[in-house]
Amino acid sequence: MRITVIGTGYVGLVTGASLAYLGHQAVCVDVNEEKIKLLKSGVMPLWEPGLESMIRDVELQGRLDYSTDVSASVPVSDAVFLTLGTPSSESGEVDLSALWSVVRSIAPMLHRDTLLIIKSTVPAGTCEQIEAYLHQQFPASASIAVAHNPEFLRQGSAVRDFLAPDRLVFGASRPEAHHRLEEIYAAIQSPVIKCGLREAELIKCASNAFLAMKISYANMMSDLCDALGISVDAVAEGMGLDRRIGSEFLRAGAGYGGSCFPKDLRALIALAAKEHLDMELLKATEAINRQRVQVICRRLEGIFGSLEDKQITIYGLAFKPNTDDTREAPALRISSMLQEAGARIRAYDPVVAGLPDRQVDVDTDMYEAADGSDCVVIVTDWDQFNRLDWGRLRQVMRSPYIFDARNMLDIAVMTENCKRYGLHYMSLGRPSIAPDVPLTID
């Protein structure tokens, strides 16, 4: 099938490349000329494991192209995917301006047999409005069908998630649209939910909100465990083995971030408010997540008293490992709050090279970033932090504090490291480990 994907960001590029990999002829379109120029010259505009090699393969087979111009590919496409960003507006509602501007501009180019597939995450009701708009504005094209096919990929494992999803959701008001989606995804083995447009829209937001709620629940429990002096690890393991609960998203830490969970939660709260419903559970989820940054900063103030002139090193800037995406990343809020309290911030991230508009020195070497530091705070759980040379790290640091704000390090291993190198290890909802030697703060 000939497919155009409009909006070549994290979702659009993975969608275009994966559909080409499945045998379709795909064109990825974006308004960002620089991005399209990079892609055409073989440079990846974003970092996502496995994506570059898949792109090289499908490019060689002539199945993936890039463009800034919708008019060349849309009129000859069997399906057009819209993967535009749908960020939060000031009020918490979703800003659909990019999506609508593209719908308006491509509407005259769509032909009777094109399926317009909205993949962006949108509030329930949006796709019906788009379908109604197409029918009202262009009676000649009244048979153009609109579908919603929400995307559940996770950055960091996006290619695998796209090609082997837990489920595919096909929302449409007409059977022929469901059928076209089945053809597009024929090569993927996965359960399929065929439903209406609004149901598909809500499945996506409700799923993200539920996962965010699970994270906040784990964080709430970790605060209680801290107060009781017990380990949240055992509590989470004991809960997670119950199949009705499941173990994923139960690890306490610095909270969720990224371009999806925060805005999808806000969008659901705003959508429900229009229906005079108060999503109290989701509001509590947000509040707990916001407090994580304060919990971490308070713990640091508890050690040092004042953070004035203390040097804190942040390990991990992206909102999760295996991505370079720093949208709504907890590391940004933590570094701002620590700076406000007087601390100097240095940072290291395996793939984020810098933070525009922020006074944070980002080093390319993790030991250099910790040079002269009073505390290293792990904010993103990159696997490489499991393999740190703790002796070397202690040598370059001014004070011996390690704050694992993702609970990623093994307590037994860190107990040994604390003994051996005189480190002081802290995490969330787990007892701290002090070295055998008395601590001094320089």
Ligand X SMILES: NC(=O)c1ccc[n+]([C@@H]2O[C@H](COP(=O)([O-])OP(=O)(O)OC[C@H]3O[C@@H](n4cnc5c(N)ncnc54)[C@H](O)[C@@H]3O)[C@@H](O)[C@H]2O)c1
Report CA-CA distances (Å) from 259 to 10, 295, 362, 366: 10, 23, 22, 26
Tell me the site size for ligand X, rule CB under 6 A: 26
Residue with the closest Cβ to ligand X?
9
Q: 């964080």: which residue's tokens? A: 219
**Residue 260 near ligand X by CB under 6 A:** yes
**Tokens standing for 215?**
């994270």
Q: Which stretch binds ligand X (CB under 6 A): 80-88, 240-248, 270-278, 394-402?
A: 80-88
Please give the DSSP secondary-structure letter assigned to residue 386: G
**Residue 71 near ligand X by CB under 6 A:** no
Chosen residue from 4, 18, 25, 83 binding ligand X by CB under 6 A: 83
**Residue 319 near ligand X by CB under 6 A:** no
Q: 């990846």: which residue's tokens? A: 44
Q: Helix 280-304 crosses helix 197-228 at what angle (to 10 degrees)?
A: 30
- Rounded to whole angstroms, the Cα distance separating 311 from 397 reads 10
Burial (0-12, 13-18, 19+ Cβ within 10 Å), 220: middle
Our CB check for ligand X shows the closer of 45 and 372 to be 45
**Residue 417 near ligand X by CB under 6 A:** no
**Residue 31 near ligand X by CB under 6 A:** yes
Query: Are the CB atoms for 212 and 265 separated by under 8 Å?
Result: yes
Build a one-symbol-per-residue string for 153-192: x at contacts with ligand X by CB under 6 A, - elsewhere: x-x-------------------------------------
For Cα atoms 174, 176, 182, give the angle at the middle one, nearest 5 degrees.
Answer: 115
Query: Are the CB atoms for 362 and 347 separated by under 8 Å?
Result: yes
Chosen residue from 5, 29, 215, 366 binding ligand X by CB under 6 A: 29
Q: How far is the CB of 262 from ligand X (least distance, A)?
A: 11
Chosen residue from 26, 55, 102, 117 binding ligand X by CB under 6 A: 102
- Rounded to whole angstroms, the Cα distance separating 142 from 331 reads 48
Build a one-symbol-per-residue string for 132-151: x at contacts with ligand X by CB under 6 A, - elsewhere: -------------------x
**Residue 259 near ligand X by CB under 6 A:** yes
Q: How far is the CB of 433 from ligand X (least distance, A)?
A: 35
Q: Which of 260, 297, 375, 418 is catalytic?
A: 260
* Known binding residues for NAD(+): 30, 35, 86, 121, 263, 327
Q: How far is the CB of 8 from ligand X (least distance, A)?
A: 5
**Tokens standing for 340?**
């406000």
Our CB check for ligand X shows the closer of 16 and 316 to be 16
User: Each residue of 260-269: b (16+ CB within 10 Å) or e?
Assistant: bbbbbbbbbb
Burial (0-12, 13-18, 19+ Cβ within 10 Å), 356: exposed
Chosen residue from 120, 219, 231, 335 binding ligand X by CB under 6 A: 120
Measured in whole angstroms, the distance separating CA 189 from the mean position of its chain's CA atoms is: 25
Q: What residues from 1 to 20 belong to the interface with ligand X (CB under 6 A)?
A: 6-12
Q: Which stretch binds ligand X (CB under 6 A): 16-24, 31-39, 125-133, 397-405?
A: 31-39
Residue 260 known to be catalytic: yes
Q: Which residues would be at the binding site for ligand X (CB under 6 A)?
A: 6-12, 29-32, 35, 83-86, 98, 101-102, 120-121, 151, 153, 155, 259-260
Q: Annotated catalytic sites, by residue?
A: 260
